[in-house]
Structure 1
Amino acid sequence: MHHNTKPGKKRLLAATGLAAAAALTLSACGSGSGDGGGNDKAVVTDVSGGDHSQDKAVTVLDTPFEKPDLTLTDTHGKKFDLRKETDGKPTLVYFGYTHCPDVCPLTMSNIAVAKKSLPEAERSKLQVVFVSTDPDRDTPAELGKWLTAQDPAFIGMTGDFKTTQAAARSLGISVEPTHKDKNGKLVSTHGTQVIAFSPKTDKGYLLFDKDATVETYTHDIPKILKGEKP
């Protein structure tokens, strides 16, 4: 696309367009309120190369994110230190909640299906961490039950909301306290991005938005296992 555009201008257009696309993923999951506001600080460059170079659902971060210093309770009721437990491991991190009617289960399902396409020896290397944005309802037991239905190996974290919110913000992801919508239903407004952390640097270098499909993850996860760009 735009093969005649000057490199500098092309880079600027790509970064501007993708930043806007990333901002659109900050939504109220299941609330129908659209934009959830945000703190989308990610600086992005062109979409990753390869045979899906036009897939705008994934972006390479120009300035990778530091892995959040986050310790919460896992689905077994034990403390889970994100940095310590995933150190040097390819890791996908997502913020969401189990009562989400749409994007959360779809995102986890897409990742689970893509993971199954990996050779068996490779599957255990990928760490998939789901951090609850609705800790009052997402007890360790409830979160564990929900994640097991997706993939028993998925890791769940739940606990202090403000701690979770700060961790999400450090990744440019907006998370707001659970509240009632106009119909009186409890909803959690949260960004829908998945951040991939490299096993080489432990930094978040890829961002997947809610439009990422099974095919997107199937294509990119083998690269993530090696800390490579898609």
Structure 2
Amino acid sequence: MPAAWTAGAVELILIRHGESQGNVAATDATVSGAEVIAVPARDADVELSSTGREQVTALGRALAAVPESRQPDVVISSPYMRAYQTAEIAVETAGWPVPVRSDERLRDRELGILDMLTAFGVETRLPQEAERRRWLGKFYYRPPGGESWADVALRLRSVIGELNALGSGHRVMLVCHDAVVMLFRYILEGMSERELLDVAASTPVLNASMTRYVRPEGVGPWTLESFNVADHLMEQGVEVTEHAGDADVHPR
């Protein structure tokens, strides 16, 4: 039986981090036609932007309205600064008495040789890699020194196995990254490569959005209750941002 189907947690909430300084720098670089993204720090240390902080504070206010009986008793974040800040600010604002733990398996995909390059920069500086990525598609393409989406899925499967070992009845919130949210969908819903890439190409995961799975009995398959919800931002007058990756994801 797949690990995702064994007895364990009854609710899983996936949060994408708020807008980061890296998101802003990447968008600015793409719009200006630059080859290199002027990121302010290494990927693991990039912090939230001012808009990102507003987003995750609004997220925390929305979470504060969750009845005590349905509040997560486990909160785990990617160790990357933008995600961990999101988790800490949201939990503190919500007033939840739960510590934030970190797990490196929830980190963003490692880009290796492509790190800090725009799509234009990859085409210009590494044309063979650009062609190899087009041929393999986003799911299986692994840049030198980096990871494919399939690699990320492998580490996430072990996370699911450990969440199941918590025992039935737990509600869990994971704070992570857009590709990680997509790959949890791939695993929990048993998607094919094409089904996953179709969703990835058409639906960017919004900053500070919520995706929710439920399994009331703690056994069997998960049910997707909601995906990529950012109503809490719009309702509080906070800017909604997507900062999506390349939509050209299918193999050719």
Same fold flag (TM > 0.5) = no
Q: Which has the higher contact order (CA 8 A, sep 6+)?
A: 2
Q: Output the TM-score relative to the length of structure 1.
A: 0.34
Q: Which has the higher strand share?
A: 1
Q: Which has the higher helix share?
A: 2
Q: Output the TM-score relative to the length of structure 2.
A: 0.32
